[in-house]
Structure 1
Amino acid sequence: MNDFSGIDGFLGTRASAAMDMMVLLMALVVAVLGWSVYQVRVGRRFRLHRSVQLALGIALLVAVVLFELDVRFNGWEERSAGVVGGSASTLVWSVLAIHLVFAVFSVLLWPVVIVRAVRNFGGSPHPGAHSAWHRRWARIAAIGMTMTAVSCWAFYWVAFVA
């Protein structure tokens, strides 16, 4: 057991339980996001895609709020400090900065894509006038979310594993 604030993680690193949960959740989000896009592109399952995206959006909102509360109350730097020699290194801060660029971009864009889709496709989603906009920006949002996950994993590695 570590003498850090917050609940110790379960993946065997110095990270907190909240960090461990987000690392795993981001893997799940990317997998479900890819599966959902496949369902609409190949299977033309528009309602399923809509339902999955709404569920992902709500789940991510709840997870990010809980995660941010944990980070604000318990921090992360002291857990990282022992790994990098007493204080968070320049590498850790640099990787975190890159992650935050993608995370903030995703947090701002994904709700816009979801809200516009709900408004323009309605309860019975099907291709229409909004489709071209949605394909373009949803693709950008999905890339942003994937890069958020990849940079999350990179930050986790340099801060709590390496």
Structure 2
Amino acid sequence: MNDFSGIDGFLGTRASFAMDMMVTLMVLVVLALGWSVYQVKVGRRLRLHRGVQLGLGVALLVAVVLFELDVRFNGWQERSAGVVGGTASTAVSTSLAIHLVFAVTSVLLWPVVIVRAVRNFGNPPHPGAHAAWHRRWARVAAIDMTLTAVTCWVFYWLAFVA
């Protein structure tokens, strides 16, 4: 048991429960995202893809809100092994800044792609005029989400493991 504010994590590092939850969730998100895209590309399982994407969107929204509350109330710096004298190391600060670029753009882009898909593909979903826009921007959103995950893992490693 550490003497840090917040709930201790479950991955055996200095990170909080919320930090461990997000790092773990991002593994699942990337896997589910890839599987969902595969389902629509290969099997034309549009309804399954839609359900998975809506589920991921809701799960991420809830997780990010809970995570942000934890970070706002408990912080992360005191737990970080990459913080010296209250100031984050250059590597930790840089990795966090890079992560935030992808995280913020994902938070802005993913809802747009999801809402437009729900509005334009119908229920049950069917291909239409919106497909070209969706393919382009969903690909950008998926890459952005993957980079959010990768940069999350780098930050986590530098701040709480290394």
CA deviations 1:63-116 (Å, max 9, x no partner) are 000000000000000001x44433311110100000000000000000000000
2:81 is the alignment partner of 1:48: no
Displaced runs of 4 or more, over 3 A: 82-87
- Residue 131 of structure 1 aligns with which residue? 131
Q: Is the 8 A contact 2:103 2:148 kept in 1?
A: yes
Structure 2, unmatched stretches of 5+, are none
* Contact residue 82 and residue 89 of structure 2 kept, 8 A: no
- Give the CA deviation at 1:126: 1.5
**TM-score, normalising length: structure 1:** 0.97
- What is the aligned partner in structure 1 of residue 36 from structure 2? 36
The aligned runs of 1:54-65 (5 Å cut-off) are 54-65=54-65
* Counterpart secondary structure, 1:2: coil
Amino acid at match of 1:158: L
What is the 5 A alignment of 1:59-98?
59-80=59-80, 82-86=81-85, 87-98=87-98
Q: Which residue in the other structure is 1:106 paired with? A: 106
TM-score, scaled to structure 2? 0.97
Name 1:13's counterpart in structure 2: 13
Q: Residue type of the partner of 1:85?
A: V
**1:148: which partner in 2?**
148
**Percentage of pairs with the same residue:** 82
Pairwise CA RMSD:
0.8
Asked if structure 1 preserves the Cα contact closer than 8 Å seen for 2:77 and 2:83, the reply is no
Runs of 5+ unmatched residues, structure 1: none
